[in-house]
Amino acid sequence: MFRGTTIVCIRKGDKVAMAGDGQVTLGSQIIKSGARKVRRLYKGAVLAGFAGSTADAMTLLERFETRLEENSGDLMRSAVSLVKEWRTDRALRRLEALMIVADAKLTLMLSGSGDILEPENNVAAIGSGSGFAQAAALAFLECSDMSPSAIAARAIEIAAEICIYTDKVVTVEAIGE
């Protein structure tokens, strides 16, 4: 489990939103509260969020964006290509991070151990507050008419009330809203 971040992705119909908190910690100290851990890639058509070391995550985001360009934005092919390289490359396999990537049709969770998972129930979450954010998002999806962006933001805020490694400075990116 990664300490220092929470990322959640919500899919509702043809709309998808991803949110992340902004807290960066170093040991037991909060270093920054406004980091952007959710990004738009490939001409704004793909959302990506990461949990883990900042340098590792930035390396992976850069590589993933290259894969998206090579595969004309095909999310699954790009994810397979990245995860294969991540798992087999001597330098990359040491990277400690998890990623959620999403486009208008698909959400995937990626890991360096070769995992490419399509989450159930239209919610994916990673990071230290992931369980809290996922539970909150599932409840809002079932019981409200809130947009995916509103659900994602509120799920991070709820996780921040419980997880000491998550703060309420939230970045949200959406497709289709």
- Residues assigned a catalytic role: 5
The DSSP output letter for 45 is: T
- List, in order, residues 6 or more apart from 38 with CB less than 8 Å away: 7, 18, 19, 20, 47, 48, 49, 171, 172, 173
Q: Report the alpha-carbon distance of residue 141 to residue 12 in Å, rounded.
A: 8
The neighbouring-strand residues paired with 50 are 99
* DSSP 8-class letter at 92: G
